[in-house]
Amino acid sequence: LGQAGAMTMSALPEWGLRGLKPHDSNLPAMESSALRDALNRLPQWRHDPERGTLTRRFVFADFAQAFGFMTEMAIWSEKNDHHPHWFNDHRRVDVSLTTHDVGGLSVRDLAWAQAADAAAARRATCHDATPDGEHP
């Protein structure tokens, strides 16, 4: 499982998440300046303010890498009670995050995204994939 499996949101003090427990319910919608700062740390993610979602496409080297990523993030999601909308097609994983309680993004979505970036970085990804996840 490794380090990311054990990583909780309390591992992200730079976003003021220290001490946040999975079941804490006081999650205000993020202030726009704090959100901007956080999104700057997640350049591969797209924020859709209309939908209140944070999305990213991951393209791995193969299905085994993609499914390993999903397994690791599934465990993280259970530990932190925050779950992705996602779609897997072979080595591609499309992720969409939102927090229903606040009708938009919360620190939970940003923590998920950061953990996912770390989990993907430890796996073999496909660097020459086009944005639709296929080889040119």
**How far is the first Cα of the chain from the last one, in angstroms, to the nearest whole number?**
33
Does residue 83 bind ligand H2B (CB under 6 A)? yes
Total residues at the site for ligand H2B (CB under 6 A)?
Answer: 8
Q: How far is the CB of 109 from ligand H2B (least distance, A)?
A: 7
Q: Which is nearer to ligand H2B, 98 or 114 (CB)?
A: 98
- Select the residue interacting with ligand H2B from 14, 62, 81, 89 (CB under 6 A): 81
| Strands of the sheet with 46-48, listed across from one edge | 46-48, 53-59, 92-97, 85-89
- Select the residue interacting with ligand H2B from 101, 103, 130, 134 (CB under 6 A): 101
Q: Give the Cα separation of 24 and 17 in Å (integer).
A: 11
Residue 133 in contact with residue 62, Cβ under 8 Å?
A: no
Interface positions with ligand H2B (CB under 6 A): 81-83, 97-101
